Amino acid sequence: MRAQTLTQALNGHDTLLRKAGLILGGSLFIALAAQVSVPFFPVPLTLSTLAILIVGLTFGSRLGAAAVLAYLAQGAMGLPVFAGGLNGVALVGPTAGFLYGFVGMAWLAGLAVERGLARGPVLTALCGIVISALLYIPGLAWPALALGKSAPDLWAYWMAPFLLGDAVKAVIAAMVVWGGWTALRARR
């Protein structure tokens, strides 16, 4: 059987211990990426989405989503894993919709790989851009419903400043993942 994800190609058959290690490593990678941020208000610009796309595209849907769930659990337990060193308080703050949406983002990125939609760097980048755009559904729903923000506020503070950066991060994620595949093929 041909490996569907980069981690399957590198590790072969994943044991429970390897899966646990990938989930923990992926969650820590996302936590580190969240600390690289530009302080916008009310939503900071971070490298979280880049890390989540990389995790999803390399781990697959289930392990990618599990890594994000572990990341959210770490924050809920009080660890300072969210942007700006925040912990569980971020799970009810202005960025909560994006944080919860990260689970679906990783799952969709992994599913795109598993279904063969993310073939080559261009299609992978396009999948990443679409998946990044879908993150705005829960990301904007939270401040609209829980915080009562208006459509102009949502556009001005939660969406417009991030669109170009999200597209660039999707392209970078595709280049990283396909660089990994290229290096693996060259090694064999």
**One-character DSSP codes across 76-133:** HTT---BGGGB-GGGGGSTTHHHHHHHHHHHHHHHHHHHTT---HHHHHHHHHHHHHH
Q: What pLDDT score does 44 carry?
A: 79
- Where the chain has pLDDT below 70, the residues are 1-3
* Domain assignment present for 149: yes
Write the DSSP symbol of residue 1.
Answer: -
Residue indicated by tokens 């890390």 = 51
188 domain residue, yes or no: no
pLDDT at residue 152, as a whole number: 93
Q: Is residue 42 part of a domain?
A: yes
In a domain, 185, yes or no: no
In a domain, residue 70? The reply is: yes
CATH number, residue 45: 1.10.1760.20
How many folded domains does the chain comprise?
1
In a domain, 29, yes or no: yes
pTM of structure: 0.94
pLDDT in tens, 162-182: 999 999 999 999 999 999 999
Strand partners, 38: 45
Domain that holds residue 81: 6-180
